[in-house]
Amino acid sequence: MSELFRRFGRLGGGLVLATALLWALLLIVLPQLWMVDLSFRPNLPVAARGGPEDGWTLANYAALWANPLHRTIFWQTIWSSLLVTLLALVVCYPVAFHLAQEAKGTQALLLATALVIPFWVNEILRTFSWFLILARNGLVNRLLLALGLIEEPLALGGVGAVMIGMVYAYVLFMIFPLYNALESLDRNQIEAARDLGASTWRIHWRVVIPHAKPGIAVGCVMTFMLAAGTFAVPQIMQSLPGGTNARWFTQIIYSYFFDGGDWNRGSAYAFALLLLCIFFIMAMMRLFRVGLRDIAK
Amino acid sequence: MQRAEVALEGVGLAYGAFWAVRFVDLTVRPGEFFSILGPSGCGKTTILRLVSGFVEPSEGVIRIDGRDVRGVGPAHRPTALVFQNLAQNLALFPSMRVWENVAFGLEVRGVVKAQRRRLAEELLELVALPGFAEKRIDELSGGQCQRVAIARALAVEPKVLLLDEPLSVLDLELRQHMRAELKAIQRRTGVTFVYITHDQGEAFTMSDRVAVMSQGRIEQVGTPTEIYDAPATAFVASFVGESNPLPGRVEGSAGGFARITTALGPLRARDPRGLAPGSAAILIVRPERCRLDEAGEGNGPADRLARAEDAPVNRIEGRLVRIDFEGAFANLGRSQPGRAHLESPGGERRPPLPARGRGPCGRTLPGRSGTRTPRGPARP
């Protein structure tokens, strides 16, 4: 902050700071506050707003609790996002460890490139590639048919398909924080543990994972937030045969805003999701005993 | 605790076409404090990694207690490694308490927690760190980390402890203290120590025997005094201690002494190998064997000392043109002929240094200090 003033002078620094604050206020704080306000008001025709029926109410939140379908989808979204996070961690940890500690020179470069290239393609297309793999006439069904393992194409849609799509869509957000954390681990520590007789499992459990905790926490928080807040992946994967049951809570929020025209209910649902996500971040930080400072790194 | 012999027989390790070490024959005796001394990049750490099992030799055999250990991983060799003092933490585990670090090897072996704790405290006692069990690694000083690392390695009751320049980052005073401490720990435990260093002071003060390495080869193995007083090769002579190398040609040899013609004229020197007349040789003079005299007849204090020790006296005349005072030594620049830079000893017995450029001065080299070594690197 003082660096900013030193470099641009009092006026220049003040302008830069004011711009940033204005940006945050206009585009982040005010809309959020407005949404929170909306979520506590009834959905009224324009003419009735500010009238006798208008006022603070918990009805929108109560509606989420009262609607068994929405409640189920809400918990299912949270649960699936947790599973997606866990899956992504399981998939990414060995890759990140290999990349950070074992791969050398060209091999490391090739591996990193192979990981990054799919991310030059946008999320919709990346998800769509999984759609094609799992479709009725997709790769998996054709392979199984060709091998004579099945008679009829399988309906591969569902929550599982959505989760696969998400794990694929978000691996990088898990790998890079993990890689960063693992890369800073002194190789000698691994060798010291090995020299003292520790098994691979114990080396990871006692030496590598404790060191990588901040990276694991960051990766999990990012993946979970992306998974819980995604709209595109479930939207695409639902079109698979058998996929209609895999509804995501974000889709309900979307439909209240843009199909139902009930912004108040939509806001309440969105805010409920946000609260739960914040709770998740806190829980992860507590679980891995990391502070906000570590996460910000 | 047990002790073991470590033997390397014709060991070599190649990375592609490059031999990191080759033709290494060494036997470290049970219970010995053995140092491998050499400049950085000479392959000494490679030897440690070979013995500990992190790399397998491309050729040759490594035996620990007579048993060929090829194919036995580091976890299953009776060795424990104390890592280089990189970034001060010696590969200690920062997420664990001091006692957990020390007891990690026991945890691996399934020792129950109460016993682990007790053994860890015993070991901390041994390395003079009582009461440090609950401390975190980042609360320790460099020397304390050092001791924890040694305790951690000793916890698995190794027969051989391998130490890779563990003192290199410590400051001078602490380093000297830790030398004594390490030697004491070695005596108390009786474990065979193999100690890697580029610091001859460390190697000489602690070791029973020293191997000097250069460019992946062993140059000489011997006690510190053997290495210092009778270097086997020109490399050992120049790497170990200060020295004045004087290349020349052997004129003749008799009674364990040789006459050798150098740029400073004919000199007499010890000739332990009985070199043939006419062969090229390098005469090595240790600076502490040089005495500074006034020019003139051979009756100065250095001459009297040399006569008392009944050794031939080499005397070089010259004009002093430069003095670089270094504490224990002074580098004296000398005018014609040859402009060789000889070093004069400091310390108690040193004569007062003459002022620069003040008259001619003579320098006597008692012959027993000269050691002739064959020119060029000798290979077994």
Helix (H) or strand (E) holding A219: helix A209-229
Please choose, from the candidates B332, B351, B367, B342, the residue with its C-alpha nearest in 3D space to the C-alpha of residue B292. Answer: B351
- Helices (H) and strands (E) counted in chain B, each on its own, are 10, 20
Q: How confident is the model at residue B121 (pLDDT cuts 50, 70, 90)?
A: very high
Asked if pLDDT for residue B274 goes beyond 50, the answer is yes
Neighbours of A292 (CB within 10 A): 9
Residue B94 near chain A (CB below 8 Å) = yes
Average pLDDT over residues A166-189: 89
- pLDDT digits over B25-63, tens only? 999 999 999 999 999 888 888 999 999 998 999 999 999
By Cβ distance, the residue of B75, B87, B92 closest to A197 is B75
One domain, residues A187 and A271: yes
One domain, residues A26 and A74: no
Q: Which residue has the higher pLDDT, B116 or B357?
A: B116
- pLDDT digits over B289-328, tens only? 776 666 655 556 555 655 555 555 677 777 777 777 766 6
Determine, yes or no, domain membership for A58.
no
Asked if pLDDT for residue A76 goes beyond 80, the answer is yes
CB pairs under 8 A between A and B: 67
One domain, residues A12 and A74: no
One domain, residues A73 and A26: no
Determine, yes or no, domain membership for A41.
no
Q: Where are the alpha helices (DSSP H) in A117-208?
A: 123-134, 139-146, 159-183, 187-195, 200-203
Please choose, from the candidates B245, B354, B348, the residue with its C-alpha nearest in 3D space to the C-alpha of residue B295. Answer: B354
Helix (H) or strand (E) holding B113: helix B113-126
Question: Are the C-beta atoms of B371 and B261 separated by less than 8 Å?
Answer: no
Tell me the backbone φ, ψ of residue B313, rounded to 5 degrees.
Answer: -105, 130
One domain, residues A164 and A254: yes
Question: Are the C-beta atoms of A264 and A38 separated by less than 8 Å?
Answer: yes
Provide the token pair at B358: 């003040």
Provide the token pair at B254: 């008799």
Q: What CA–CA distance (Å, rounded) separates B163 from A210?
A: 26
CB spacing of B79 vs A195 below 8 angstroms? yes
One domain, residues A8 and A73: no
Architecture of domain B6-229 in this structure = 3-Layer(aba) Sandwich (3.40)
Where in chain B is CATH 3.40.50.300?
6-229
Which segments of B255-290 are extended strands (E)?
257-262, 265-270, 280-285
* Mean pLDDT computed over every residue of chain A: 86
> SS3 for B365?
strand
The single residue listed with the structure tokens 């004009």 is B319
Question: Are the C-beta atoms of A131 and A240 separated by less than 8 Å?
Answer: yes
Provide the shortest C-alpha distance from residue B172 to chain A (in Å).
Answer: 25
Average pLDDT over residues A101-115: 86
One domain, residues A279 and A176: yes
Q: What CA–CA distance (Å, rounded) separates B267 from B316?
A: 9
**HSE-up of residue A44 (Cα within 13 Å, Cβ side):** 16
Q: How confident is the model at residue B378 (pLDDT cuts 50, 70, 90)?
A: very low
Q: Which residue has the higher pLDDT, B139 or B367?
A: B139
Neighbours of A25 (CB within 10 A): 12
Question: Are the C-beta atoms of B43 and B204 separated by less than 8 Å?
Answer: no
Tell me the backbone φ, ψ of residue B246, rounded to 5 degrees.
Answer: -125, 95
Q: What CA–CA distance (Å, rounded) separates B82 from B84?
A: 7
Provide the b/e sequence for A42-76 (b: ≥16 CB within 10 Å).
bbeeeeeeeeeeeeeeeebbeebeeeeebeebbeb
Worst-scoring range by mean pLDDT, A49-58, A112-121, A232-241, B62-71? Answer: A49-58
Least CA distance to A196: which residue of chain B? B105
Question: Are the C-beta atoms of B247 and B280 separated by less than 8 Å?
Answer: yes
Q: What CA–CA distance (Å, rounded) separates A218 from A175?
A: 10
pLDDT of residue B312: 57
Determine, yes or no, domain membership for A54.
no
CB spacing of A196 vs B86 below 8 angstroms? no
pLDDT of residue B259: 85
pLDDT of residue B371: 42
Determine, yes or no, domain membership for A62.
no
Q: From the centroid of its chain, how far is CA A297? A: 18
Residue A7 near chain B (CB below 8 Å) = no
One domain, residues A76 and A24: no
Please choose, from the candidates A138, A137, A130, the residue with its C-alpha nearest in 3D space to the C-alpha of residue A234. Answer: A130
User: Which chain A positions have a beta carbon within 8 Å of B87's beta carbon?
Assistant: 186
pLDDT of residue B357: 42
One domain, residues A184 and A281: yes
- Sign of the Cα torsion B38, B40, B42, B47 reads positive
Asked if pLDDT for residue B367 goes beyond 50, the answer is no
Determine, yes or no, domain membership for A121.
yes
User: Which chain B positions have a beta carbon within 8 Å of A202's beta carbon?
Assistant: 108
pLDDT of residue A1: 66
Q: Return the DSSP state at B97.
A: B
> SS3 for B9?
strand
Residues spanned by the domain of A108: 68-295
CB spacing of B91 vs A192 below 8 angstroms? yes
- How many domains, in total, are found in chain A? 2
Asked if pLDDT for residue B350 goes beyond 70, the answer is no
User: Which chain B positions have a beta carbon within 8 Å of A195's beta carbon?
Assistant: 52, 54, 74-75, 79-81
User: Which chain B positions have a beta carbon within 8 Å of A199's beta carbon?
Assistant: 108
One domain, residues A116 and A229: yes
One domain, residues A200 and A112: yes
Q: Which residue has the higher pLDDT, B253 or B211?
A: B211
pLDDT of residue B100: 93
The single residue listed with the structure tokens 């200060």 is B242
Average pLDDT over residues A10-16: 85
Determine, yes or no, domain membership for A52.
no
Determine, yes or no, domain membership for A203.
yes
Average pLDDT over residues A267-274: 90
Residue A188 near chain B (CB below 8 Å) = yes
